[in-house]
Chains A and B, each alone.
Chain A
Amino acid sequence: MSIILNKVNYVYSAGTAYEIQALKNVNLKIEDGEFIGVIGHTGSGKSTLIQHLNGLMRATSGGIYYNGEDIYDKDYDMRGLRSKVGLVFQYPEHQLFETTIFDDVCFGPLNQGLSKKEAGVRAFEALNCVGLSEELYYQSPFDLSGGQKRRVAIAGVLAMKPEMIILDEPTAGLDPKGRDEILDQIAKMHKERGITVVLVSHSMEDVAKYVGRIIVMNQGEVMFDDTPNGVFRHYRELEAVGLAAPAVTYLLHELSERGLPVGTEATTVETAKKEILKMLASLEKR
């Protein structure tokens, strides 16, 4: 179970005055069960990249293979692919349309050809999974708060039981509490169901906290593809392309530059705390 991208190129508005190459020779392999973060400056090709993963955009050149099958094959089941690779767009709450939340979440499963009853079960599970309280299920999605709407929209994709879920900035415009709740639920799903997750984010802290591998996009190219520690080690290069490392990385580097015996690898507050305590203990010993 994996997705392989082989030399994928994508050009917007080819042959006009507005031509832009959004992806340049992208080679990637995404394994089953990974939790991947995609970061990059605005316009770096993140959104274009993820829309290739479920076939919504067609590469200008290059190939994409899902579980070893070429998705650009003439008789490849593209709709089948889309139910295996769920994609939650930025501001997904703008896609809600049904009269009740429950019906909206049923939309995906019904499109998969499930019966009303089965779709209902799926919708129930998915809404439960995103932590929406039951008394809301039969209300209009337009009466909800922003955070609740977003949960409904994410549930709408989860209800299709994808093997892989891609989220494009799922926390944009949410308050810190809403942000943590949504990300925690995604992490829980990854752990419990073993679902592959690709998280596009602007927040280095979020990415460092949850993901196991980071892909850094810059001007349509993959700049880094490594573990969080490995990527944030290059924090100077990240800054040069308009990105940054988590705040704790800066703190640790600063401490180390001033001659304190501290490791600079930590990227989350928790691991940084451990590093600093370790350093303090070793200083006391002297």
Chain B
Amino acid sequence: MIRDITIGQYYPANSPVHRLDPRVKLLGTLIYIISLFVFKGFAAFVLAAIFLVAAIKISRVPFSYMVKGLKAIVVLMVITGLFNLFLTQGTPWVSFWVFTVTYEGAENAALMLIRLAFLIIGTSLMTLTTTPNQLTDGLEKSLHPLSKIGVPVHEIAMMMSIALRFIPILIEETDKIMKAQMARGADFESGNIFRKAKAMIPLLVPLFVSAFRRANDLAMAMEARCYNGGTGRTKMKPLCYKRQDYIAYAVLFLYLAAMIALRFVWTYLSALFGW
């Protein structure tokens, strides 16, 4: 039932991308997103596509998983596409009834859609190849300098990893309680909205009770092991850069440099040919 929902949706595999340091992947995703929005022109998108496809190939995650992420934002993409298509001023291309499609509109719409698709696929590649724990570890380490100015980086990272860890547990618990109440004849599907809301009580009360119980147990277990925040705490798997991480950084900066170079070449060519 609800069990099939995957959040954090890690795809287990043993690939070079999976083995990368999470900090590299975090920074890489950030650079990729920025590159998508800063740069214009056909060539830049070809390069972005090559980069993305190469990364997916190396990660050994099936392409169908990437497309799953896109399904969630199909509505958003359609609306964005339509707005760009019909509401951009410029040279008319096709017109029917009250709508006019301009050349600029078509171009904008296409670029926007490609941008959104690349954005979602790029970020889901990160979540598919990094476990939530690695991700929060990477965040903690990357943001560590902020703790000097009083930001509780360790605590925030700990809260994030606990919250992420609890998502599947609570989903499972919800599934269990739902089934237990259905076995007692509860009906969660039929009726109007008020009846449905009322039918949620037998689900929500036990769910909250169990969430509090689990939180209590966890706090107790942490205290029993003398947890007292981040100071002086070491890691079982400390993050260290290895050779592959430096190579990945090099590739990332090459990509960024190529994008910047392309941008200048594109502006130059546009000016030259009057595009």
- Among B6, B12, B13, B180, point to the contact of A95 (Cβ < 8 A): B180
Q: Mark B1-19, 1 if CB is under 8 A from A, else 0.
A: 0011010000111000000
Interface residues of B in 1-52 (CB under 8 A from A): 3-4, 6, 11-13
Q: Are B12 and A17 in contact (CB under 8 A)?
A: yes
Chain A residue total in the interface (Cβ 8 A) = 27
Considering the complex, give the chain A residue whose CB is closest to the CB of B176. Answer: A89
Contact B183 A87 (CB under 8 A): yes
Q: Can you name 13 extra interface pairs (CB under 8 A) apart from A79-B185, A89-B179, A95-B180?
A: A13-B3, A17-B13, A54-B183, A79-B187, A89-B176, A94-B180, A94-B206, A95-B177, A96-B206, A97-B202, A107-B185, A112-B185, A156-B184
List of A residues within 8 angstroms of B173 by Cβ: 94
Give the complex CA separation of A142 and B205 in angstroms: 11
Q: Are A108 and B184 in contact (CB under 8 A)?
A: yes
Query: Is A160 at the interface (CB under 8 A from chain B)?
Result: yes
B186 within 8 A of A: yes
B265 at the interface (CB under 8 A from A): no
Best-buried of A56, A83, A87, A94 by chain B (most CB within 10 Å) = A94
Q: DSSP majority for the B interface? A: helix
B185 and A89 contacting across the interface, CB-CB below 8 Å: no
Contact of B210 among A82, A94, A107, A108 (CB under 8 A): A94
Would you call A92 an interface residue if the criterion is a C-beta within 8 Å of the partner chain's C-beta atoms? yes
Q: In the assembled complex, which residues on chain B have CB atoms less than 8 Å from the CB atom of A156?
A: 184
Interface size class of B (residues with CB under 8 A): 20 to 34
The yes or no answer to A157 lying at the interface (CB within 8 A) is yes
Contacts of A111 in B (CB 8 A): 184-187
Q: Taking A97-B205, A97-B206 as contacts, is the C-beta distance between A92 and B185 under 8 angstroms?
A: no
Q: Evaluate contact between A83 and B177: CB separation under 8 angstroms.
A: no
Complex Cα–Cα for A190 and B173 (A): 31
Q: With a CB–CB cut-off of 8 A, which chain B residues contact A79?
A: 185, 187
Interface centre among A51, A82, A112, by most B CB within 10 Å? A82
A residues less than 8 Å from B4 (CB atoms): 13
